Structures are given as structure tokens and as C-alpha cells.
Amino acid sequence: MTQHTPPDGATPVRAAMFSDGPDFLLLNPDIPARRWRGARVRAGLRPRIVFIGLAGAGMAVLAALFGKGFPALLALSAGTLVVGVSALAGWGSAASVLSDHRHCAVRGCRVERRRGDFVFRSRDFADLGAAADMVVRALIVGVEELHRSPARAWIDPAQLRQVHVVVWEALCCLDRTRAARILADELAADPDTEVGGLAAATRRAVTAVDDGVDEVARHVHGCLVLARAWEAKLRHADLAARTEHTLDALPGHDDLRRLSEAAEALPRNLFASITAARDITGAGAFPWEQSSSSGQSCLIPHDRDRGGTTSPGTVQFRRTEQSAS
């Protein structure tokens, strides 16, 4: 089996808009890149876009060859504008070939025209019953999660592709049960008792396929459990590294001790400067330096030791009793 890369991105699951609402697409892993390019070219060259572009080009050519004056200039500008708009519309249609399918519901585009050729929609299996629809959605979402997981960088791309291939083959097997399901319903509704055994045999065959697809879904879920566990490990390692880096940027104990010692010396140095200036200017004693012979108390500034520190630079006052000599 030849390995092919999904177009325009790493995940083989695409979110797309349809006339009946949003849905998910699972890309066929066996479609080569040249077929995807061809699908884009066809989407960009839709008949309506080509017709409008040719009409604009024809208008511009006729205006340039046979027109004169302002009307010719106006026609030339209009034709050129139409060609430019058509080119942009074609480019947009080609770019959105996998994401926008809100077009004619009768015919559809080449990508979705035949189920299982280019893509499978998750709603393609809604008519097979609620259980099948739920399993299909779980498989498609599982492929999407694995391909977008942060753990993907640690997973071999060949293993991711194998998950994609297995899920695609499971959906193909489920898709092939449509005729058998219809037949089983017809046989079950037949009043002839002789066909009862045929109905039971058909139903058993369909059930066997459903069980096989359920088994695939369980194994894909196991892959998701492993990927999520590794994601959690990666996230924990990233948080630990960020925490260590952040804590390393914080000031250490020695830095804080030096800062505290420097701040502790500030009030003493300022006090010495102020008292020296007081003595030089003869401004008189400060209140805490005035003693009373009558034994009245006075206020003396002091710095608390570090065991009872206050905010740096704050001067504390204590009241002491002066005894008469």
C-alpha cells in the first residue's frame, strides 16, 4: 500500500460545512496528491466561474479593440474587474474544496459525490442505526485527536498512518453492510416462515461486522488513553521546568540577607547625619534628648533587633523613666 500525505495539513480529518450543517470528513488514505490537486482544479474551474470569467475577458477585449472614449474605458475596466473577481472566486473554491460543501445538493461535488471514494462523512452512517453512528463518530474523532495531540511529536508517523488506515478500512466494512441490513429487514418482515433462517443468518453476519468495528473502536480508544497519559507526562514535565526556571529567577537567601543588612544601617546613618547637622547649626536638642530632673519620662528613638523588626526605616519610640540624680 502506497503511503500518501493528506492535503493541506497533517490531520486526515476535516471540519466542513454542508447544506445540512457542519460535519467531519475522514480522508481516504489511499488518494494520491495528484488526485487531490485535480479535485482542486475542478473546483476552481466550475462552469459558472469559467463562464463569468470568459464573459469579462470578452468584454475587455472588445472594449480594447473597438471601443473609443469613456464608454470603452468603462467597459474595459468592468471586464477586467469581472475577470479578477472570477479568478478570486475560483481560487477560493479550490482552497475550500474540503471545507465548504454548501453547493448543489442534487449533484454535489466530485469529492463527496460517491461515498467512500475521496472521503467519508460522519453522517454517512446515520442510517445504519444509532449504535453504528456513535461508533463511527468515535472513530473519526479518535483519529483527529491522535493527529492533533501534543504527543504526536513522539509518535512514529507510520503508526499514526496505520491508525488512519485501520479506521478507514473499518468504515469501509461498515459501509458494505448496507445491502445486508436492508435484506435482513426485508426477510424479517416477510410472512413466509421459511425465510426466517435466512433472516437470522443475515442478521448474524451484520452483527459480526458490527462487533469487529466495535473492536476497532476499543483499540483506537486504547491508543487515545496512551496518548493522553503521555500528554499528561509532557505537561507535568513542562510545568516542572517552568517552575524551576521561575524559582531560579527569584532572589536567593544571601541576596535578601544583604538587602536586609543594608536597609538596617539606613536609620542609624541618617540619625548620625541629622544629629551632626543639629550640633553644627545649634538647633537645639531633639525631644527625646531632653531629660527631666523631676523623673518625667522621655522618648528615645531606637531600632528593634531583627527578631522584632518593623518595616525598614521606621523609627520606633519607647518611653523610659529618668530618675533624678
The pTM score is 0.66
pLDDT cut 70: percent of the chain above it = 74
Does a structural domain hold residue 230? yes
Per-residue model confidence (pLDDT) at position 318: 39
Model confidence band, residue 246 (pLDDT cutoffs 50, 70, 90): very high
Domain ranges, residue 175? 125-251
Q: Is 260 or 320 the better-scoring residue by pLDDT? A: 260
How many domains would you assign to the chain?
A: 1
Span of 32-36, 173-177, 304-308 with lowest mean pLDDT: 304-308
Span of 28-37, 151-160, 310-319 with lowest mean pLDDT: 310-319
Does a structural domain hold residue 156? yes
Question: Residue 168: which H helix or E strand, with range?
Answer: helix 157-175
Does a structural domain hold residue 241? yes
Highest mean pLDDT among 6-15, 161-170, 284-293, 303-312: 161-170
Beta bridge partners, 27, equal: 119
Does a structural domain hold residue 77? no
Model confidence band, residue 7 (pLDDT cutoffs 50, 70, 90): low
Biggest CA-to-CA distance, the chain: 132
For the segment 223-241, what is each residue's pLDDT rounded down to a tens digit? 999 999 999 999 999 999 9
Does a structural domain hold residue 161? yes
Whether the CB-CB separation of 298 and 285 falls below 8 Å is answered with no
Average pLDDT over the chain reads 78
Mean pLDDT of the region 159-175: 94
Per-residue model confidence (pLDDT) at position 97: 66
Highest mean pLDDT among 29-43, 50-64, 158-172, 193-207: 158-172
Whether the CB-CB separation of 87 and 3 falls below 8 Å is answered with no
Per-residue model confidence (pLDDT) at position 106: 45
Span of 93-102, 130-139, 234-243 with lowest mean pLDDT: 93-102
Mean pLDDT of the region 212-217: 95
Does a structural domain hold residue 140? yes
Per-residue model confidence (pLDDT) at position 314: 41
Residue 85 has pLDDT above 60, yes or no: yes
Mean pLDDT of the region 18-36: 80
Half-sphere exposure (CA, 13 Å, Cβ side) for 156? 4
Does a structural domain hold residue 119? no
Does a structural domain hold residue 132? yes
